[in-house]
């Protein structure tokens, strides 16, 4: 028995180690096929800290309650119990073997008992959760829909088997030692000790040989399996996740949200005034992704947290962030032999490798290399265009991913090529782009229309809003109010603009606007993929802002649109524009705290607040709008099921505001249905895009008789103004505030 156990274990170990090492080297080579990216190496100490915090703290996973706790024990047990594997090798040769130094140390034995048991219970919990959420039962609602099921179950049952072997060996060790009363050394395995206490010595020895062999063989059979499946992310993520987290985009450890990465070619930012002749615009081949992108694809564990939060997937559209990443991973590994042999196409589509270089490349890899990265099923494309254009760039996938995959950056990179090189994008978006080029706003309205709301406000309230440089000196301005296209030109959003301006006037804040000098920040074209137009609009705005605020004490800007807020604060630094930018809810909360705004008049009703993605997830501004609502007397706030970090998109981000939804349920309808489940009187938000999308859906629900007629959709600024203003005389004929 002992000889057989030794031979089987050692053979399995040698094969498993060799195959796993070979696969690890191959993964490294595949990752290196990506383009250069020199931005991932700064602040090494902070990056190490981020890895430690995210792993030991399980900062993403622990948001999922019992799943996070169970996974923590599995992850910690996987690495911390590796010495039990060493111990098993020793037991093959001597059944009474214990590790030198720590083998008889009580704290170590208690640690093994606790972590071994909790790892086993943890993986059993995860297996049960997976079984209860099988796609065959839950369909698209299962976050495991589309995952490679056999790989996930194989990994889970492997860990379960190892955990059971650890506990069995602990019990057999106690029985062999002759433990006849409770001993803390066998804190949890003592019942197993008792169960085997009457078994003959020779039998116990043989059982130890068997279970030591089982533990080793299960472990290295897993190594063999991952060795012959280098794209098996559900297994390889145990190692790759540390690197993926270390090399994440932000040096400070924050998620890859807010700003988009500058457009690069061969690792260098593209100079749009004088691009290099060989510059690659966007991503049209998998090797055009950076090496970090390929590492992202390789690290995906197929857990489906991104998929479960994705507004597109949840409304019947073909985009699943998980399936997109999996498709890119499988394509990258299938194409890798061709790339590693020197294969590749130049900008004209000509093959760069010689026939001699490609002679040993498998036919399957050559065929994979011919597939278009973006293309329909008929075109044998890797990513369907409907998948690419369904994304709202809401960031839910990036926020939830436990291994820090940067989905939004990859989607936008693919869009950039489609828009700038192929001119292939939804036709409705073309109108928006044309209007921005010609008029500086997506509706194509005359520039002078940007001041219509100023005239309306003066007529309604007598308040005059000054234009910086014309009516007021920059040195007198506390805040430059960036109104934004929607805030200046869209009727519903203009109500927010006027309410905010009136509140600033009431609070005595010295502010001014740019007026006709303001133009679109470029958020929508950039997220659509038209980087050139973003660069043009952004450079114009940065020049205007720098000139307007040159003599201001501080370059402080306040914006009512989260998309403008995000672009000016996070993306204009890429263009040389460095400003202090806040959102209007942040300023309003500050003014309330200072006592400059006093909400005293009750606004009665049940309210639910919708988190704008570009205010919440992208910029972590969750508290100010809620605190404003809390300060308004009469309001009873109730959160929707999906809120804050898990808030659900309105459907307008990622330039989707300008594109029709032709597949599945409308995202704004899904969000309003969730709001209506609370039977609110008011749906509030803090974004003009959200205001428009939610209003459209609420009005549709009213027409269907599915929503109360008095239900209104308003910005928090409108609510605050209603409470701050002196109560008007009662008028039974007065109509309710229109959304």
Q: State the chain's mean pLDDT as an integer.
A: 94
135 phi/psi in degrees, rounded to 5:
-55, -30
Contacts 24+ apart (CB under 8 A), 730-739: 736/710, 736/712, 737/712, 738/495, 738/712, 739/492, 739/691, 739/695, 739/698, 739/699, 739/712, 739/713, 739/714
Sheet holding 580-583, edge to edge: 511-512, 479-482, 556-559, 580-583
pLDDT at 60: 87
CB 658 within 8 A of CB 429: yes
Average pLDDT over residues 127-133: 94
The β-bridge partners of 607 are 637, 682
pLDDT tens track for 168-224:
999 999 999 999 899 899 999 999 999 999 899 999 999 999 999 999 999 999 999
CB atoms within 10 A of CB 606: 13
pTM of the predicted structure, to 2 decimals: 0.93
Where residue 727 falls among pLDDT bands split at 50, 70, 90? low
Question: What do you get for the CA distance between the two ends of the chain, in Å?
Answer: 80
User: At residue 732, does pLDDT exceed 50?
Assistant: no
714 phi/psi in degrees, rounded to 5:
-140, 155
Q: Tokens representing 454? A: 């100023």
d(CA 388, CA 320): 10
At a CB cut-off of 8 Å and minimum separation 6, what does 322 contact? Answer: 143, 146, 147, 300, 302, 303, 304, 306, 307
Q: Is 552 helix (H, G, I), strand (E, B) or coil?
A: coil
Average pLDDT over residues 38-48: 95
Average pLDDT over residues 247-273: 92
Residue 183, CB half-sphere, CA atoms under 13 Å: how many? 20
pLDDT tens track for 539-597:
999 999 999 998 777 889 999 999 999 999 999 999 999 999 999 999 999 999 999 99
pLDDT at 726: 67
Stretch (H or E) spanning 516: none
pLDDT at 268: 87
Stretch (H or E) spanning 482: strand 479-482
pLDDT tens track for 83-116:
999 999 999 999 999 999 999 999 999 999 999 9
User: At residue 470, does pLDDT exceed 50?
Assistant: yes
CA distances from 346 to 31, 288, 333, 413, 655 (A): 20, 11, 20, 18, 30
Burial class of residue 183, CB neighbours in 10 A (0-12, 13-18, 19+): middle
d(CA 564, CA 581): 10
d(CA 708, CA 701): 9
């Amino acid at each position: 028995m002992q000889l057989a156990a030794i031979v089987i274990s050692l053979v399995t170990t040698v094969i498993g180690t060799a195959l796993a090492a070979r696969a690890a080297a191959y993964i490294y080579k595949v990752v290196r096929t990506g383009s250069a990216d020199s931005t991932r190496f700064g602040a090494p100490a902070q990056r190490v800290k981020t890895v430690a915090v995210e792993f030991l703290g399980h900062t993403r996973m622990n948001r999922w309650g019992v799943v996070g706790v169970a996974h923590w024990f599995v992850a910690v047990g996987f690495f911390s119990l590796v010495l039990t594997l060493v111990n098993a090798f020793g037991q093959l040769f001597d059944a009474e073997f214990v590790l030198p130094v720590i083998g008889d140390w009580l704290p170590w034995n208690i640690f093994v008992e606790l972590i071994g048991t909790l790892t086993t219970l943890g993986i059993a919990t995860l297996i049960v959760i997976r079984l209860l959420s099988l796609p065959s039962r839950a369909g698209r609602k299962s976050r495991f829909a589309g995952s490679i099921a056999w790989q996930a179950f194989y990994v889970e049952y492997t860990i379960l088997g190892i955990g059971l072997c650890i506990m069995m060996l602990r019990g057999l060790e106690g029985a062999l030692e002759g433990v006849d009363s409770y001993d803390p050394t066998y804190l949890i395995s003592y019942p197993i000790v008792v169960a085997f206490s009457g078994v003959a010595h020779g039998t116990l020895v043989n059982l130890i040989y068997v279970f030591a062999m089982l533990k080793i063989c299960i472990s290295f059979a897993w190594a063999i399996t991952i060795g012959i499946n280098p794209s098996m992310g559900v297994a390889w993520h145990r190692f790759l996740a540390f690197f993926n987290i270390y090399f994440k985009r932000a040096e400070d450890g924050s998620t890859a949200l807010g700003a988009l990465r500058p457009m690069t070619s061969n690792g260098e930012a593209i100079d749009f005034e004088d691009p290099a002749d060989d510059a690659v615009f966007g991503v049209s081949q998998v090797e055009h992704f950076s090496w970090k992108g390929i590492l992202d694809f390789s690290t995906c564990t197929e857990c489906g947290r991104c998929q479960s939060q994705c507004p597109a997937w949840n409304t019947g559209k073909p985009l699943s962030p998980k399936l997109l990443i999996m498709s890119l991973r499988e394509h990258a590994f299938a194409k890798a032999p061709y790339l590693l042999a020197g294969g590749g196409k130049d900008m004209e589509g000509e093959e760069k490798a010689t026939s001699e270089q490609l002679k040993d490349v498998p036919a399957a890899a050559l065929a994979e290399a011919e597939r278009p990265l973006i293309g329909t099923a008929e075109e044998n494309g890797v990513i369907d265009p409907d998948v690419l254009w369904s994304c709202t760039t809401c960031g839910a996938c990036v926020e939830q991913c436990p291994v820090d995959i940067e989905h939004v950056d990859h989607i936008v990179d693919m869009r950039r090529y489609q828009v700038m090189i192929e001119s292939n994008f939804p036709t409705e978006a073309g109108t928006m782009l044309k209007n921005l080029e010609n008029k500086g706003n997506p509706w194509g309205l005359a520039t002078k229309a940007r001041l219509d709301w100023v005239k309306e406000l003066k007529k309604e309230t007598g308040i005059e809003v000054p234009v910086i440089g014309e009516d007021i000196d920059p040195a007198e301005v506390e805040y430059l109010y960036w109104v934004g296209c929607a805030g200046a030109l869209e009727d519903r959003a203009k109500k927010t603009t006027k309410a905010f301006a009136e509140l600033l006037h009431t609070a005595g804040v010295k502010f001014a606007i740019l007026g006709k000098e303001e133009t679109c920040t470029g958020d929508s074209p950039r997220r659509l993929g038209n980087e050139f137009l973003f660069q043009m609009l952004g450079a114009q705005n940065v020049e205007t802002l720098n000139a307007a605020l040159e003599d201001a004490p501080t370059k402080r800007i306040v914006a009512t649109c989260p998309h403008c807020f995000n672009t000016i604060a996070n993306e204009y630094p890429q263009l040389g524009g460095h400003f202090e930018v806040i959102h209007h809810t942040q300023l309003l909360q500050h003014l309330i705290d200072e006592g400059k705004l006093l909400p005293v008049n009750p606004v009665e009703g049940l309210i639910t607040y919708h988190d704008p993605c570009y205010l919440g997830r992208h910029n972590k501004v969750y508290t100010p709008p809620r605190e404003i609502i809390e300060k308004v007397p009469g309001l009873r706030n109730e959160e929707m099921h999906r809120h804050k970090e898990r808030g659900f998109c309105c459907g307008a981000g990622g330039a989707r505001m300008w594109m029709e939804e032709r597949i599945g349920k409308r995202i704004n309808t899904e969000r309003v249905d969730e709001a209506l489940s609370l039977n609110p009187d008011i749906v509030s938000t803090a974004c003009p895009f959200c205001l428009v999308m939610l209003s459209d859906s609420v009005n549709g629900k009213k027409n269907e008789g599915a929503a109360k007629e008095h239900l209104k959709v308003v910005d928090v600024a409108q609510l605050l103004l209603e409470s701050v203003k002196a109560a008007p005389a009662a008028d039974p004929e007065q109509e309710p505030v229109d959304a």
